[in-house]
Amino acid sequence: MPRFCQISLCWLLLLIPVSVVAMSRQFDADAVVTMQNGNPCFSYPPNEEKLFGYHLSVSKIGRHSAVEWDIQKFHYDKLNMPEPNSPEHCIEYGVVNYKLEVKQAAEPLLPDTPYRVFISVAEAPTDQRYRYLRKFAADFCISSNEQGEPVIVSALMDDTGEWQCLKPGESPKHGFWQKLFGK
């Protein structure tokens, strides 16, 4: 085998693992999306750390991506607010109280349209800066069940790179890229 081919093969074998490692997820765990009063309601899994606040955004995903809602809240302890770390204490889409800082007002969510919720959770600030400990995300759609009631279903990217909403009760079919890189 010519020396050039040997060197090229060595470089190829060295670079393959690097490209796989670079495709890791950009968040720590899945956000929890439930329905409350006919609206999506967002929370994150319980944790042991005492957290200080969060930044939450809901965005349309796909060809025409856009931020639909963007809020943040800090100082749980000073405002006597429960931490949104369970479905019982979730953040209902579009419901704003005086304790929330709204960065983008809520737009109506369309049925059978893929969305992503992204929640960054912070600990108490040091030197006037917030340090984010955890990031949570979930891809979802609002669909209707047989009775016409709104339900949350998963949104997935198919093998062609297009986003789609699962039907109520449908389980995801994992294509090549999802099997290789997860999610």
Give the pLDDT confidence score for residue 17 in this predicted structure: 42
Which sign does the torsion angle of CA 172, 175, 177, 182 carry? positive
Q: Which residues of the chain have pLDDT under 50?
A: 4-5, 8-24
Give the pLDDT confidence score for residue 23 in this predicted structure: 38
Q: Which residues contact 81 (CB under 8 A, 6 or more apart)?
A: 73, 99
Q: Strand locations in 14-113, DSSP E?
A: 29-30, 32-36, 39-43, 53-60, 66-74, 91-92, 101-104
Closest C-alpha to 51, from 28, 20, 84, 22: 84
Q: Copy the structure tokens of residue 33.
A: 């999306």
- How many angstroms separate the CA atoms of 30 and 109, rounded? 20
- How many angstroms separate the CA atoms of 150 and 183, rounded? 24
Q: Copy the structure tokens of residue 8.
A: 């090229």
Q: What is the mean pLDDT of the chain?
A: 78
Give the pLDDT confidence score for residue 122 in this predicted structure: 77
Give the pLDDT confidence score for residue 147 in this predicted structure: 93
**C-alpha torsion angle, residues 88, 94, 95, 99 (rounded to 10):** 100
Give the pLDDT confidence score for residue 20 in this predicted structure: 38
- Residue spans per domain, the chain: 26-181
